[in-house]
Structure 1
Amino acid sequence: MPTGRVKVFDEERNFGFVQPIEGGEDVYVHASTLEGTVLRSGDVIEYDVQEGDDGPQATSVRIAERAPEDNPAGRVVVGGPPPTWDELEQIEREKRQRRRQRRRRR
């Protein structure tokens, strides 16, 4: 079962992104895959991966380690401030566009 650190999770929009600890592409996580809990940025989770329409998605999510409560917004700052939602959405748009281009080449 892969593990990853929650980069960002928006409770109002019910989704976020996980950075796999083993490396690789960020994984989308939706609130519907959580079992009665809310994720915070910086939480370490275990999850299964399922390929969705727009890339990998986390399923069967379980929190392995909570981010410290005294950490503002639960953020883990590594190499600078975390990306904004607009930046994350732009990154995801670019990833989708690259996937579409790869599919067209086949």
Structure 2
Amino acid sequence: MARGKIKWFDAAKGYGFIKPDDGSPDVFVHVSKVMEASLPHLRPGMALKYSVEQDGAKLFAKDLSLVSSEPAPREPGKVGDDFADEFEREWGLRQI
């Protein structure tokens, strides 16, 4: 599995990019793969392990997992709620 850090991730857009540790080109990561892995909201600098799928010249991350000495701070089942909250705040659908 490859390793890298989140370069940026926009929950409202539903995607972001991973900067691989080996210096290879950035890898696209879609929110569906984040949710499949039950990960918390991704923040820049978070370390991940992942598999790479290639479609032509495009690289996609799948099979995501956090690289950390301690477990991710989250409650079971909250990934979808976190995403919905973030999306609604960013698009002005929810008052803060």
The answer to whether 1:20 aligns with 2:42 is: no
Alignment of 1:22-41 (within 5 A): 22-34=22-34, 35-37=37-39, 38-41=41-44
Cα distance between partner residues in 1 of 2:45 and 2:14: 16
**1:58 counterpart letter in structure 2:** A
State the 1:53 CA deviation: 5.0
State the 1:12 CA deviation: 0.6
The aligned counterpart of 2:60 is 57
State the 4+ residue runs in structure 1 displaced beyond 6 angstroms. Answer: none
State the 1:63 CA deviation: 1.2
TM-score normalised according to structure 1 size: 0.57
Cα distance between partner residues in 1 of 2:20 and 2:62: 14
The aligned counterpart of 1:104 is none
Q: Secondary structure at the match of 2:67?
A: strand
**2:31 counterpart letter in structure 1:** A
Residue correspondences, number: 66
Cα distance between partner residues in 2 of 1:44 and 1:50: 19
Structure 2: unaligned runs, 5 residues or longer? 71-96
Alpha-carbon distance change, 30 to 54 in structure 1, aligned in 2, over 3 angstroms = farther
State the 1:54 CA deviation: 5.4
